[in-house]
């Protein structure tokens, strides 16, 4: 499995960032920009979110939700986002304290995936890194509203 790691500093309190990320069923509230559809199956660890965005359909299962460590994990159930046949991710929010008079935190993304084709893994890794950056930007914009 290929791995992508990305750490992004955010000018927002870790608690506020975590509250948004921890709402697994509320993904489209901040990441979808109002577009797409989501349906939820189950609740808590093991719940599945079915997403329809930009013509693609995928489902992800919540595998980890640790409010103390502010960690959330999920695995791909079906679909092939960015050409990935298997995918699992963990995102963590870490308090960065005060910097230049403002509160900051870090969002740490870690994804592992398999495309089934070693020749396409670098392209998928770049796309996944860009997706993590895009989701972080969308989350910050959502918090700024």
Instruction: Residue 11: give its domain's CATH number.
Output: 3.30.530.20
Residue 33, both tokens: 């920009």
Q: What is the CA radius of gyration of the chain?
A: 15
Residue range of the domain that includes 68: 2-144
pTM: 0.91
Give how many domains the chain has, as a whole number.
1
Assign 43 a pLDDT band (cuts: 50, 70, 90).
very high
For residue range 86-104, what is the model confidence (pLDDT) as tens digits? 999 999 999 986 666 666 8
Average pLDDT of the segment spanning 64-76: 98
Percent of the chain with pLDDT over 70: 94
């Amino acid at each position: 499995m290929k791995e992508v790691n990305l750490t992004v500093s955010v000018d927002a309190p870790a608690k506020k960032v975590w509250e948004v990320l921890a709402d697994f069923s509320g993904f489209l509230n901040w990441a979808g920009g109002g577009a797409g559809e989501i349906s939820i199956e189950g609740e808590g660890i093991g719940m599945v979110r079915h997403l329809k965005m930009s013509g693609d359909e995928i489902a992800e299962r919540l595998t980890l939700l640790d409010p103390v460590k502010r960690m959330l994990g999920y695995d791909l159930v079906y679909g092939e986002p960015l050409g990935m046949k298997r995918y699992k991710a963990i995102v963590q929010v870490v308090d960065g304290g005060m910097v230049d008079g403002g509160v900051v935190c870090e969002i740490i993304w870690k994804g592992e995936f398999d495309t089934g084709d070693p020749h396409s893994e670098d392209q998928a890794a770049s796309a996944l890194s860009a997706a993590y950056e895009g989701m972080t930007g969308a989350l910050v914009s959502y918090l700024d509203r």
